[in-house]
Structure 1
Amino acid sequence: MKMILIGENIVKSYGLGVEKRKILDGVSIEIEEGDFVSVMGPSGSGKSTLMYALSGMEAIDEGRVVFDEGDLSELGEDQLADLRSIKMGFVFQQPTLMKNLNILDNIILPSMRHNRKNTSNITEKARELMKKVGIEDLENRDITQVSGGQLQRAGICRALMSNPKMIFGDEPTGALNSKSAQEIMNILSDINKEGTTLMLVTHDAKVAAQSERILFMKDGKILSEMRLGKFIEEDMEDRFKKVTEKIQEIGI
């Protein structure tokens, strides 16, 4: 299987002088096309920073990141922005949606940057995605008129507008109740089954248990990795148990 993302000996620090602190300490990672990876660890372990480094949102101090066979260090800021908007998708704990736009317009807004002449095609694509995730009746609603789970579905639609090769999620279920969280995980799992690579940062063992691989981080390093294989709902209890036991074993 082709590697979609490779990180080699990544080092990232914040602060200056005596305040300087190493957040990523020589992290290496490989992710294959179609993989579903979760990253777990305590607050301050470096898991979100790793995601930002691998997606080019954060410059690294040392090491190398290769995405889709291209070295991110060779790209300028505009090129990195284009890469993220075309080949990557992002889902955050709190969707960053515009308060003055309705749900549909929020979904299509980023796509208009690259394709202003095809508004009708972009709108049609957005409506297809909204139907796919079950919010087709909400296109004219303001973002204050829908639930957190519905906002997250809109965020997923926006992330999928460019048919990205990979989606990065930073605690995508963290602000949701258990029912809404599982609905979002079902959508993300379906996206992965269709071939899109996923990398999720999460503190939730139930979320991580639904991925194929889990990376456990602490103090800026990957301590351990667990491979669970493709998710089968009937195996959830056993997978969850394995994850929680691993968390206790390595003390994160």
Structure 2
Amino acid sequence: MNKIVTGENIVKSYGKGDEKRNVLDGVSAEIYQGEFVSVMGPSGSGKSTLMFALSGMDGVDGGRVAFDGSDLSALGENELADIRRTKMGFVFQQPTLLKNLNILDNIILTSIRDRRKNAAKITEKARALMKKVGIAELEKRDVTQASGGQLQRAGICRALMSNPKIIFGDEPTGALNSKYAQDIMNIFSEINEDGTAVMLVTHDANVAVRAQRIMFMCDGKIVSEMRLSKFSGTDIDDRMEKVIAKMREIGI
């Protein structure tokens, strides 16, 4: 498989002088085409910072990050923005949707700005994605008329509008109840089966077990990794047992 993202000896620091600390302390990580990766660790372990570094959303103080053959540290902000907009998708714990637009318009907003001449095709694609994730009937609803799980599905649709090579998710189920969280994870699995790489940051073992590979972080370092088989839906208990055992082994 081809590598989509490569991080080599990444260092990211915050603070100055005696208060300076490395949130990422020489981290190296790779994500391959079509791979489903979870990053687990306690609060403050650096997992979200790693995601921001690998996606080019935040610069690094040392090391190198390459995406799809491009050295992100050598690119200007406009070039980075173009890559994030056209080759990456992002899903966060709280979907950032505009309250003055309906759900369909929120999904197509960025794409319409980029490609005004293809408005009809963009709208058609958004509707197809909404149907796929089960919110087709909500296109005219205001953001305030949808549940948290429905809004997260809308956020996923928006992330998929550019046919990204990878979806980055930062605690995408963190604000949802268990039923909605399971529904969202089923969608991520389907996205991955369609060939899109997925990287999810989470503290929840129920989310992490859906991945094919889990990176465990602590104190700014990847302290362990484990590989799992492709998720089948029937081996959840066995996968959970293995993940919990690994967490106990490394003390997180």
Q: Name the TM-score class by shorter chain.
A: over 0.9
In structure 2, the partner of 1:12 is: 12
In structure 2, the partner of 1:74 is: 74
**How far, CA to CA, are the matches of 1:177 and 1:216 in structure 2?**
24
In structure 2, the partner of 1:128 is: 128
**How far, CA to CA, are the matches of 1:19 and 1:108 in structure 2?**
43
In structure 2, the partner of 1:249 is: 249
CA RMSD of aligned residues (A): 0.6
In structure 1, the partner of 2:159 is: 159
Which residues in structure 2 correspond to 1:134-153 (within 5 Å)? 134-153=134-153
**How far, CA to CA, are the matches of 1:197 and 1:113 in structure 2?**
25
SS in 2 for 1:125: helix
Deviates more, 1:107-116 or 1:2-11: 107-116
Deviates more, 1:56-65 or 1:12-21: 12-21
**How far, CA to CA, are the matches of 2:34 and 2:218 in structure 1?**
26
Verify: 1:89 aligned to 2:89, yes or no: yes
In structure 2, the partner of 1:223 is: 223
Deviations 1:177-225 (A, max 9, x none): 1010000000000000010000000011011001000000000000000
Deviations 1:117-161 (A, max 9, x none): 211111111000000000000001111101000000000000000
**How far, CA to CA, are the matches of 1:148 and 1:138 in structure 2?**
13
Which residues in structure 2 correspond to 1:1-252 (within 5 Å)? 1-252=1-252
**Structure 1: segments with no counterpart, 5+ residues:** none
Deviations 1:79-120 (A, max 9, x none): 101100100000000001101111000000111231012111
Letter in 2 for 1:139: E
**How far, CA to CA, are the matches of 1:198 and 1:55 in structure 2?**
12
Deviates more, 1:16-25 or 1:146-155: 16-25
SS in 2 for 1:7: strand
Write out the 4+ residue segments of structure 1 that deviate beyond 3 Å after TM superposition: none
**How far, CA to CA, are the matches of 1:195 and 1:141 in structure 2?**
31
Deviations 1:7-43 (A, max 9, x none): 0000000111122111000000111100000000000
SS in 1 for 2:234: helix
SS in 2 for 1:149: helix
**How far, CA to CA, are the matches of 1:187 and 1:90 in structure 2?**
14
**How far, CA to CA, are the matches of 1:13 and 1:120 in structure 2?**
45
**How far, CA to CA, are the matches of 2:91 and 2:69 in structure 1?**
23
Letter in 2 for 1:216: F
Aligned residues: 252
Letter in 1 for 2:216: F
**How far, CA to CA, are the matches of 2:104 and 2:173 in structure 1?**
21
Deviation at 1:249, TM superposition (A): 1.4
SS in 1 for 2:235: helix
**Structure 2: segments with no counterpart, 5+ residues:** none
Percent identity between the aligned chains? 73
TM-score, scaled relative to structure 2: 0.99
Letter in 2 for 1:113: R
Letter in 1 for 2:170: D
**How far, CA to CA, are the matches of 1:11 and 1:106 in structure 2?**
35
Letter in 1 for 2:18: V
